[in-house]
Structure 1
Amino acid sequence: MANEPESLILPLLREIRGEIGKTSERLEEVERKLDKLESGQKTIRQALTADTMMSKFVTGDFEERIFELERKVEALTKGQ
């Protein structure tokens, strides 16, 4: 009687339930890791955006200074 299909069903279902529990724990761990990676990528994207904006600001400031110097040199050369 111990080998009859009815006596194997409950242990099999318990084993399946245990495996499902392990799988859901693994999925939760993977989700946590993915969230952490996405957060890191977002931080990197924000840093790159800030760096790009700062570069544009510095370049713009530099171009303004060059323009002013060119204007002064032109005024000096016209004055001679």
Structure 2
Amino acid sequence: MIIPLLREMRSEVAALRDHMDARFDVMESAQKSFKHALTADTLMSKLITGEFEERIVALEKKVRDLESQK
């Protein structure tokens, strides 16, 4: 009686392990997707900030040029 019970428990544990592995795979893919979104957002922010800084530098240069002409 004990041996069949242990075999049944072993199969239930294996099924539970498979179920948990599948859930972890889903969580890992969601986490990777979130990380990719954060990376893309950070990259976009850097690009926008860089363009903004380039415009400010160009404007500062124009102001310096105008001030030097006076």
The one of 50, 60, 65 aligned to 2:40:
50
Number of aligned positions between the proteins: 70
**Aligned partners of 2:2 and 2:26: how far apart in 1?**
36
1:14-70 Cα distance to aligned partner (Å, 9 max, x none):
111111111101000100011111111100111111111111101110000000000
Q: Which residue does 2:61 correspond to in 1? A: 71
The ranges of structure 1 where at least 4 consecutive aligned residues each deviate by more than 6 angstroms after the TM superposition are: none
Q: Which residue does 2:16 correspond to in 1? A: 26
* Partner amino acid, structure 1, of 2:44: M
Q: Which runs of 5+ in 1 are unaligned?
A: 1-10
**Aligned partners of 2:2 and 2:58: how far apart in 1?**
83
Overall identity of the aligned pairs, in %: 39
**Aligned partners of 2:28 and 2:48: how far apart in 1?**
30
**Aligned partners of 1:77 and 1:14: how far apart in 2?**
93
Higher CA-based Rg? 1
